[in-house]
Structure 1
Amino acid sequence: MGRLTTVAGVRIRATTEDDWQRVRELRLEMLRDTPHAYLETLESALGHDEPEWRARARRGRSATGTVLVAVDGGGRWVGTMGGWLPGPSTAPLLVGVYVAPSHRGPGAGVADALLDGIEAWAAGHGPVLRLMVHEDNQRAQAFYARRGFRLTGNSGPYPLDPRQREVEMARELPPAAGRAEP
């Protein structure tokens, strides 16, 4: 995905290996802000070395996924979302969603712009985009519902605390050029 100008001059683009330090900074911010939203602890993330962060930054243009970031007019990274193909016959999965508090809400448009980019990528890989969200993350669930995602009835234990649950939501995607309908 190329650059896309959105509300208030925020640009959306895919990450590259050269972004590894910014990827690290944003990931640590995400984990501090909403620790139950991710499958990693802050302590674990702080232990990663440079090669790990470079590998994560390369995911922006991976054969099995993408990672998009939102960059404001001052160069600050204010959001991110990823898309991942868990397997050859598995629907695309939305992962790693974060928008800085200063850029949250429908009026800001950052989450919508990021999701537009992920949906465009995902439409080339399958007819449905899925996600798993912590059962207590009502803010995220409300955003996804506003964007047409619905609870599927599937759930599973939250990997960092199996006493808690993650629920699955999914949305049908419009056909993309080059993708045949089933």
Structure 2
Amino acid sequence: MSPASPAVIVRRTTEDDWQGMRDLRFQMLADTPLAYLESLDDARLHGEAHWRAQAARGSSEESITVVAVAEDGRFVGTMGAYLPTPAAGPTLVAVYVDPAYRGRGAGVTDRLLDAIEAWAAPRGGTLTLEVHEQNARARAAYEHRGFIATGAFTPYALNPVFRDLEMIKQV
């Protein structure tokens, strides 16, 4: 199957997915370091217990992590969401799709976000995210899916000269 129409399965993660999630996290950080609040060097310091806990978040009530799994078993995309406080609506985090599986034609991003939105809808009326101000590709993808910039921002944690811009969507 060509990358333009990849065959992937989208599902929630479990603790047993820790190795695939670890490997995908390393890929995420190497490919788009400004998109995440951790460096690749720091991520490589985490042990198995950390990765198991991260993968297990996919199946909790307060958070979700979904993964796109290619036919060969390789993890090629992921998204997560959590409830920062009981009163707050869900927040989208840790979004990544392998370059070979990106684009509207591939549909992987849409399938991952559909799963997140289905989880988020009964937990609040909105889904919020933060995106690095220099990540134009990600901002465009979010806008295509109905997210709008709120005007709010926070300093980017790894270099406060830059900002993470808040975007929100009704779900």
The answer to whether residue 39 in structure 2 is matched with residue 41 in structure 1 is yes
TM-score when scaled to structure 2?
A: 0.96
Hey, what does 2:82 align to over in structure 1? 84
Partner of 2:23: 25
Residue 64, structure 1, aligned to residue 59, structure 2? no
CA contact (8 A) 2:63 2:83 kept: yes
The residue identity in structure 2 corresponding to 1:22 is G
> 2:33 is aligned with what amino acid?
P
Q: Contact conserved, 2:6 with 2:101, CA < 8 A, in 1?
A: no
Amino acid corresponding to residue 90 of structure 2 in structure 1: P
Partner of 2:123: 125
The two structures, once aligned, show a CA RMSD in angstroms of 0.8
Shift of 1:101: 0.4
Task: In structure 2, give the amino acid aligned to 1:59.
Answer: R
The Cα of 1:155 is off from its aligned counterpart by 0.5
Give distance in 1, aligned partners of 2:97 and 2:6. Answer: 15
Distance 2:116 2:105 in 1: 19
The amino acid of 2:77's aligned partner reads G
CA distances 1:67-96 after superposition (whole Å, capped 9, x unpaired): 000011121211000011111111100000
Letter paired with 1:77: F
Whether 1:116 aligns to 2:114 is yes
1:179 matched to which residue of 2? none
SS at 2:61 equivalent: coil
Number of equivalences: 167
Show structure 1 runs of 4+ deviating over 3 A.
none
CA shift digits 1:141-170 (9 cap, x unpaired): 000000000000110100111111000000
Post-superposition offset of 1:63: 2.2
Q: Which structure would you say has the larger RCO, counting Cα contacts within 8 Å and 6 or more residues apart?
A: 2
- Where structure 1 has 5 or more consecutive residues not aligned to the other structure, the ranges are 1-6, 174-182
Q: Report SS of the residue matched to 1:163.
A: coil
What TM-score comes out, normalization by structure 1 length? 0.90
Q: Which residue of 2 aligns with 1:52?
A: 50
Aligned partner of 2:169 in structure 1 is 171
